[in-house]
Amino acid sequence: MLWNAKNLLLSLPGGEMDCIRFGTGERALVMIPGVGDGLKTVKGMALPFAWLYRSLAKDFTVYVFSRRRALRAGTTTREMAADLNLALEALGIEGAAVLGVSQGGMIAQWLALDYPEKVGKLVLTVTLGRPNSTVREAIGRWTEMAKAGDYKGIMLDTAERSYSEKKLRQARLSYRLLGSLGKPRSFDRFLIQAESCLTHDAWEELPRITCPTLVIGGEEDKIVTGLASEELAERIPGAALKLYPGLSHGLYEEAPDFLDRVRDFCL
Protein backbone atom coordinates (compact mmCIF):
# COMPACT_ATOMS: atom_id res chain seq x y z
CA MET A 1 0.00 0.00 0.00
CA LEU A 2 1.17 3.55 -0.68
CA TRP A 3 3.51 4.89 2.02
CA ASN A 4 2.83 1.71 4.01
CA ALA A 5 -0.43 3.32 5.17
CA LYS A 6 -2.65 1.32 7.50
CA ASN A 7 -5.77 1.97 9.60
CA LEU A 8 -5.63 0.52 13.11
CA LEU A 9 -8.18 -0.02 15.87
CA LEU A 10 -6.58 -0.44 19.28
CA SER A 11 -8.39 -2.31 22.05
CA LEU A 12 -7.34 -0.67 25.31
CA PRO A 13 -8.47 -1.15 28.91
CA GLY A 14 -11.82 0.61 29.05
CA GLY A 15 -12.37 1.18 25.34
CA GLU A 16 -11.18 1.40 21.75
CA MET A 17 -9.01 3.98 20.01
CA ASP A 18 -8.62 4.70 16.29
CA CYS A 19 -5.09 5.14 14.99
CA ILE A 20 -3.41 5.34 11.61
CA ARG A 21 0.15 4.46 10.67
CA PHE A 22 2.23 5.29 7.62
CA GLY A 23 5.85 5.66 6.60
CA THR A 24 8.87 3.39 6.62
CA GLY A 25 11.41 5.24 8.76
CA GLU A 26 13.09 3.72 11.81
CA ARG A 27 12.11 6.64 14.04
CA ALA A 28 8.57 6.87 15.45
CA LEU A 29 6.73 10.17 15.09
CA VAL A 30 3.49 10.47 17.05
CA MET A 31 0.97 13.07 15.90
CA ILE A 32 -1.88 14.23 18.15
CA PRO A 33 -4.54 16.30 16.35
CA GLY A 34 -6.66 19.07 17.83
CA VAL A 35 -10.21 19.36 19.11
CA GLY A 36 -11.63 18.70 15.65
CA ASP A 37 -11.00 15.05 16.49
CA GLY A 38 -14.23 15.31 18.47
CA LEU A 39 -16.10 15.85 15.20
CA LYS A 40 -14.24 13.32 13.05
CA THR A 41 -11.68 10.77 14.17
CA VAL A 42 -8.83 9.40 12.06
CA LYS A 43 -10.81 6.24 11.31
CA GLY A 44 -10.21 5.24 7.69
CA MET A 45 -7.95 8.25 7.05
CA ALA A 46 -4.60 6.48 6.64
CA LEU A 47 -4.18 7.19 2.93
CA PRO A 48 -5.28 10.86 3.05
CA PHE A 49 -2.95 11.54 5.99
CA ALA A 50 -0.11 9.69 4.31
CA TRP A 51 -0.56 11.84 1.21
CA LEU A 52 -0.67 15.09 3.18
CA TYR A 53 2.40 14.20 5.25
CA ARG A 54 4.25 12.10 2.66
CA SER A 55 7.40 14.22 3.13
CA LEU A 56 7.78 12.59 6.56
CA ALA A 57 7.22 9.03 5.36
CA LYS A 58 10.84 8.27 4.47
CA ASP A 59 12.41 9.31 7.76
CA PHE A 60 9.66 8.25 10.16
CA THR A 61 7.00 5.70 10.86
CA VAL A 62 4.19 8.10 11.68
CA TYR A 63 1.33 7.31 14.05
CA VAL A 64 -1.72 9.56 14.35
CA PHE A 65 -3.98 8.92 17.34
CA SER A 66 -7.58 9.92 17.98
CA ARG A 67 -8.96 10.09 21.49
CA ARG A 68 -10.67 6.91 22.63
CA ARG A 69 -14.04 6.35 20.95
CA ALA A 70 -16.14 6.46 24.12
CA LEU A 71 -15.13 9.50 26.17
CA ARG A 72 -16.54 9.96 29.64
CA ALA A 73 -18.00 13.39 30.36
CA GLY A 74 -15.39 15.45 32.19
CA THR A 75 -12.39 13.61 30.70
CA THR A 76 -9.34 15.87 31.06
CA THR A 77 -6.35 16.39 28.79
CA ARG A 78 -4.25 14.60 31.40
CA GLU A 79 -6.53 11.56 31.26
CA MET A 80 -6.36 11.66 27.45
CA ALA A 81 -2.56 11.53 27.78
CA ALA A 82 -2.93 8.46 30.02
CA ASP A 83 -5.03 6.81 27.28
CA LEU A 84 -2.38 7.67 24.71
CA ASN A 85 0.29 6.16 26.94
CA LEU A 86 -1.67 2.89 26.95
CA ALA A 87 -1.83 3.00 23.16
CA LEU A 88 1.93 3.58 22.89
CA GLU A 89 2.55 0.68 25.25
CA ALA A 90 0.30 -1.56 23.15
CA LEU A 91 2.34 -0.68 20.07
CA GLY A 92 5.70 -0.94 21.84
CA ILE A 93 6.62 2.71 21.20
CA GLU A 94 9.09 4.54 23.44
CA GLY A 95 11.26 7.62 22.94
CA ALA A 96 9.12 8.89 20.06
CA ALA A 97 9.12 12.33 18.55
CA VAL A 98 5.72 13.76 19.51
CA LEU A 99 3.92 16.48 17.55
CA GLY A 100 0.87 17.92 19.31
CA VAL A 101 -1.33 20.47 17.54
CA SER A 102 -3.69 22.75 19.50
CA GLN A 103 -5.55 20.50 21.96
CA GLY A 104 -3.16 17.76 20.87
CA GLY A 105 -0.36 19.94 22.21
CA MET A 106 -2.09 20.08 25.59
CA ILE A 107 -2.23 16.28 25.67
CA ALA A 108 1.41 16.11 24.54
CA GLN A 109 2.45 18.27 27.50
CA TRP A 110 0.98 15.76 29.94
CA LEU A 111 2.45 12.83 28.02
CA ALA A 112 5.93 14.37 28.37
CA LEU A 113 5.34 15.14 32.05
CA ASP A 114 3.73 11.91 33.21
CA TYR A 115 5.35 9.40 30.83
CA PRO A 116 8.73 10.92 29.91
CA GLU A 117 10.09 7.61 28.63
CA LYS A 118 7.58 7.79 25.78
CA VAL A 119 8.77 11.19 24.49
CA GLY A 120 12.20 11.68 22.97
CA LYS A 121 11.47 15.04 21.36
CA LEU A 122 8.45 17.30 21.67
CA VAL A 123 6.89 19.74 19.18
CA LEU A 124 4.08 21.89 20.58
CA THR A 125 2.19 23.70 17.82
CA VAL A 126 -0.44 26.47 18.25
CA THR A 127 -1.18 25.42 21.82
CA LEU A 128 -0.99 26.74 25.38
CA GLY A 129 -0.13 25.71 28.91
CA ARG A 130 -3.25 27.18 30.52
CA PRO A 131 -6.44 28.80 29.19
CA ASN A 132 -6.63 32.49 28.31
CA SER A 133 -9.54 34.77 27.43
CA THR A 134 -9.08 34.25 23.67
CA VAL A 135 -9.41 30.47 23.78
CA ARG A 136 -12.29 30.72 26.23
CA GLU A 137 -14.21 32.95 23.82
CA ALA A 138 -13.50 30.74 20.80
CA ILE A 139 -14.39 27.48 22.48
CA GLY A 140 -17.41 29.05 24.16
CA ARG A 141 -18.75 30.00 20.74
CA TRP A 142 -18.08 26.54 19.27
CA THR A 143 -19.76 24.94 22.26
CA GLU A 144 -22.92 27.00 21.67
CA MET A 145 -22.90 26.00 18.00
CA ALA A 146 -22.36 22.32 18.84
CA LYS A 147 -25.29 22.32 21.26
CA ALA A 148 -27.40 23.80 18.46
CA GLY A 149 -26.16 21.18 15.97
CA ASP A 150 -24.58 23.88 13.80
CA TYR A 151 -21.72 21.94 12.21
CA LYS A 152 -21.29 24.34 9.31
CA GLY A 153 -21.10 27.24 11.76
CA ILE A 154 -18.27 25.56 13.67
CA MET A 155 -16.37 24.93 10.44
CA LEU A 156 -16.77 28.50 9.18
CA ASP A 157 -15.92 30.13 12.51
CA THR A 158 -12.84 27.92 12.92
CA ALA A 159 -11.69 28.86 9.42
CA GLU A 160 -12.19 32.58 10.05
CA ARG A 161 -9.99 32.35 13.13
CA SER A 162 -7.37 30.05 11.59
CA TYR A 163 -6.45 31.17 8.08
CA SER A 164 -5.00 34.02 6.11
CA GLU A 165 -7.39 35.88 3.80
CA LYS A 166 -6.07 34.01 0.75
CA LYS A 167 -6.84 30.59 2.22
CA LEU A 168 -10.05 31.87 3.77
CA ARG A 169 -11.54 32.56 0.35
CA GLN A 170 -11.09 28.89 -0.53
CA ALA A 171 -12.36 27.67 2.85
CA ARG A 172 -15.50 29.82 2.83
CA LEU A 173 -16.56 28.51 -0.55
CA SER A 174 -15.79 24.92 0.39
CA TYR A 175 -17.65 25.01 3.70
CA ARG A 176 -20.68 26.75 2.23
CA LEU A 177 -20.93 24.14 -0.50
CA LEU A 178 -19.96 21.10 1.57
CA GLY A 179 -20.66 22.25 5.11
CA SER A 180 -23.09 19.44 5.93
CA LEU A 181 -20.77 16.64 4.81
CA GLY A 182 -19.03 14.93 7.68
CA LYS A 183 -21.51 16.19 10.27
CA PRO A 184 -21.32 13.87 13.29
CA ARG A 185 -24.40 12.05 14.52
CA SER A 186 -23.63 13.40 17.98
CA PHE A 187 -21.60 16.35 19.22
CA ASP A 188 -20.95 14.71 22.61
CA ARG A 189 -17.29 13.85 21.95
CA PHE A 190 -16.62 17.35 20.64
CA LEU A 191 -18.21 18.95 23.70
CA ILE A 192 -16.16 16.78 26.05
CA GLN A 193 -12.94 17.61 24.22
CA ALA A 194 -13.80 21.31 24.07
CA GLU A 195 -14.39 21.39 27.82
CA SER A 196 -11.04 19.67 28.42
CA CYS A 197 -9.30 22.59 26.68
CA LEU A 198 -10.88 25.02 29.14
CA THR A 199 -9.79 22.98 32.15
CA HIS A 200 -6.28 22.24 30.87
CA ASP A 201 -3.66 23.68 33.19
CA ALA A 202 -0.14 22.25 33.10
CA TRP A 203 1.45 25.62 33.91
CA GLU A 204 3.02 24.76 37.26
CA GLU A 205 4.30 21.43 35.94
CA LEU A 206 5.84 22.61 32.65
CA PRO A 207 9.35 23.26 34.06
CA ARG A 208 9.60 19.51 34.67
CA ILE A 209 9.68 18.78 30.93
CA THR A 210 13.25 17.71 30.16
CA CYS A 211 13.18 16.45 26.57
CA PRO A 212 14.23 18.73 23.68
CA THR A 213 11.20 20.88 22.87
CA LEU A 214 10.21 23.10 19.95
CA VAL A 215 7.26 25.47 20.31
CA ILE A 216 5.67 26.70 17.07
CA GLY A 217 3.08 29.47 17.00
CA GLY A 218 1.49 32.11 14.83
CA GLU A 219 1.84 35.76 15.78
CA GLU A 220 -1.75 36.38 14.66
CA ASP A 221 -3.29 33.28 16.28
CA LYS A 222 -6.96 34.10 16.94
CA ILE A 223 -7.65 30.95 18.97
CA VAL A 224 -4.81 30.57 21.49
CA THR A 225 -2.77 33.76 20.68
CA GLY A 226 0.88 34.04 19.72
CA LEU A 227 1.66 35.16 23.26
CA ALA A 228 0.62 31.72 24.52
CA SER A 229 3.38 30.15 22.40
CA GLU A 230 5.93 32.63 23.73
CA GLU A 231 4.90 31.90 27.32
CA LEU A 232 5.05 28.15 26.71
CA ALA A 233 8.59 28.36 25.33
CA GLU A 234 9.71 30.49 28.27
CA ARG A 235 8.17 28.05 30.74
CA ILE A 236 9.79 24.87 29.36
CA PRO A 237 13.55 24.70 30.10
CA GLY A 238 15.64 25.04 26.95
CA ALA A 239 12.68 25.14 24.58
CA ALA A 240 13.17 26.67 21.14
CA LEU A 241 10.51 28.97 19.69
CA LYS A 242 9.42 29.63 16.12
CA LEU A 243 6.73 32.30 15.61
CA TYR A 244 5.31 32.81 12.14
CA PRO A 245 4.44 36.45 11.41
CA GLY A 246 1.09 37.00 9.73
CA LEU A 247 -0.16 33.46 10.35
CA SER A 248 -2.80 32.19 12.75
CA HIS A 249 -3.92 28.84 14.17
CA GLY A 250 -3.80 27.05 10.82
CA LEU A 251 -0.12 27.78 10.22
CA TYR A 252 0.63 24.05 9.99
CA GLU A 253 -1.37 24.09 6.74
CA GLU A 254 -0.09 27.44 5.45
CA ALA A 255 3.58 27.76 6.41
CA PRO A 256 5.50 26.16 3.50
CA ASP A 257 8.40 25.11 5.71
CA PHE A 258 6.37 23.72 8.62
CA LEU A 259 6.90 20.01 7.88
CA ASP A 260 10.57 20.57 7.03
CA ARG A 261 11.03 22.35 10.35
CA VAL A 262 9.33 19.50 12.24
CA ARG A 263 11.33 16.86 10.40
CA ASP A 264 14.67 18.58 10.95
CA PHE A 265 14.01 19.03 14.67
CA CYS A 266 12.77 15.47 15.21
CA LEU A 267 15.56 13.67 13.35
Q: Which helix (H) or strand (E) holds 121?
A: strand 119-125
The pLDDT assigned to 237 comes to 98
What domains lie within the chain, and their CATH numbers?
2-266 (3.40.50.1820)
Per-residue pLDDT of the chain (267 residues; tens, 9 = 90+): 689 999 999 999 989 999 999 999 999 999 999 999 999 999 999 999 999 999 999 999 999 999 999 999 999 999 999 999 999 999 999 999 999 999 999 999 999 999 999 999 999 999 999 999 999 999 999 999 999 999 989 988 999 999 988 888 777 777 666 666 678 989 999 999 999 999 999 999 999 999 999 999 999 999 999 999 999 999 999 999 999 999 999 999 999 999 999 999 999
Nearest Cα to Cα of residue 121 among 202, 215, 201, 35: 215
SS3 156: helix
The pLDDT assigned to 177 comes to 65
The pTM score is: 0.96
Nearest Cα to Cα of residue 228 among 55, 109, 62: 109
**How far is the C-alpha of 92 from the C-alpha of 161, rounded, in Å?**
38
**How far is the C-alpha of 91 from the C-alpha of 11, rounded, in Å?**
11
The pLDDT assigned to 182 comes to 74
Give the DSSP letter of residue 22: E
**How far is the C-alpha of 86 from the C-alpha of 63, rounded, in Å?**
14
The pLDDT assigned to 180 comes to 67
Q: Which helix (H) or strand (E) holds 263?
A: helix 258-266
The pLDDT assigned to 3 comes to 94
Task: State the pairing for strand pair 60-68/15-22.
Answer: antiparallel
For 51, residues 6+ apart whose C-beta sits below 8 A from its C-beta are 2, 3
The pLDDT assigned to 1 comes to 64
